[in-house]
Structure 1
Amino acid sequence: MNSPGSWTTSHDLALIYIALAYGTDHELTDGEMDTLTDALREWALMPDEAHVQEVVMEAATAFLEGDARAEVRQSIGQLEEELTFEERRQALRDVMRIAEADGVLLEREQGLIHLLADAWSLKQLGEDLVEDTSAVVQKRGEDWGLIHELAFLYIVVAHSANNDLSSEEIDVMLDRLGEWKPKLSREDIRDIFRRSLQVYADGPEQALIQESVETLKDMLPIVQRLTVLDDLNMVAYADGTLTRNERELIMYLAQAWDINVRLNGRQ
């Protein structure tokens, strides 16, 4: 946790900014970093570049090496106590500027903005900022659920091998998806697959992959995460070969989901 003696309001702000810019898609663009440091410079007691960079690095270390969610919750609470109402309004606007810096407003970014707005008694401002954004709003719809997340990841793995989907791979994906929703017809499963494929085609790919990985980790117990990995292994082998890209992607998912697995296969 943060050291009370050296941790300041600027650190809390920096940690929130980092959670928004990096924590939502695990990517920090130059535009996001520039916007983040510009916003922080306006809050810093010593607004020189070296001090601002030091605050950013210390906040990033706390976010990356600690319990990120706990750190964010603590900073949100601290800022509610330390900032005036008008300062909280400004901080929320800064958060929105950082979210918009890469031109895309992700669903997870929207979620964090609304979380901050609710915690800081700024619900209407949060809604107005999202509604009036100049960024492309990534919204998959209220009916997007677990089965869509699964279909999306199956497509990611199958497509990673050779940038193509074979009929064998599609059949395996539909079979496995059907096992998760046995009451749905084959045509319903195909509709889910087609919609997930369209989301995959629209991108941005890496942000969506990371979001699905984290969502499924939150939604599924470890036994069902193991089932998903088995599904992905079957999808990867559908064309008779487990490629290096497929293997690395499945191993990445296993690590992200805190699962130890060993895959046999040839490049």
Structure 2
Amino acid sequence: MSLLIADDKRVRTLTLDRPDALNAFDEALYDATTEALLDAATDPDVAVVLLTGNGRAFTAGTDLREMHARTTDPDFKPGKHGFRGLLDALVEFPKPLICAVNGMGLGIGATVLGFADLAFMSSDARLKCPFTGLGVAPEAASSYLLPALIGRQNAAWVLMSSEWIDAAQAKEMGLVWRVCEPEDLLPEARRHAEVLAAKPISSLIAVKRTMTAPLRAEIDAARERENECFRELMGGPANLEALAAFAEGRAPDFTALPAGW
């Protein structure tokens, strides 16, 4: 099982558990996490969900070997929910979602913070949105949520540069709420989760609904724009070069691409 699920004091902790793959999301993990969010949303005994990772990574994002197979293998079989299903579940999730970024957060490991109601980050963790490095477009409504959360210029750098963002930068930008020493991360995140979980679930849901309802149309529109760009770029020269470079263990070289790429 690539996802660990534990309940305590009305807090459901979801721990991404593919440490040998840096908790990268393959189709199975996308499906398991989606199902866990859907179950937590309707479980009357769950007030708060806490999402974290096992090992030295929060998550390395989408498994690039599966991404390569998706573009090159005609027999590739996607999962039941996949990436889009997980996003649907995050958009619809009615209860407080707390992220505890225990290590490297890449791709969805960074953009998921746009859906977090509270985000805690280990002082030695790092975040990266690698979209330009992969020759693709933003994801997870990050083109809307990140400018709203951290400001246009911070979001432009995070989304365009494919550079690592350390915990101090993430805190200064407002991408995370608290930075903790590694050994304090989960206890501190759990302490805050339990404060919320002691409140009426109906009230927590009402607060979140009233906060997020004005954002829904913009999130949906951003996802459509991103998906259109992603479809255009996926499998294009830049993306194929990035995936080939990953498979060959080298840095991509985008300078030799056709004009305009």
Q: How high is the TM-score relative to the length of structure 2?
A: 0.26
Give the greater-gyration-radius structure (CA).
1
Q: How high is the TM-score relative to the length of structure 1?
A: 0.25
| Higher share of residues assigned strand | 2
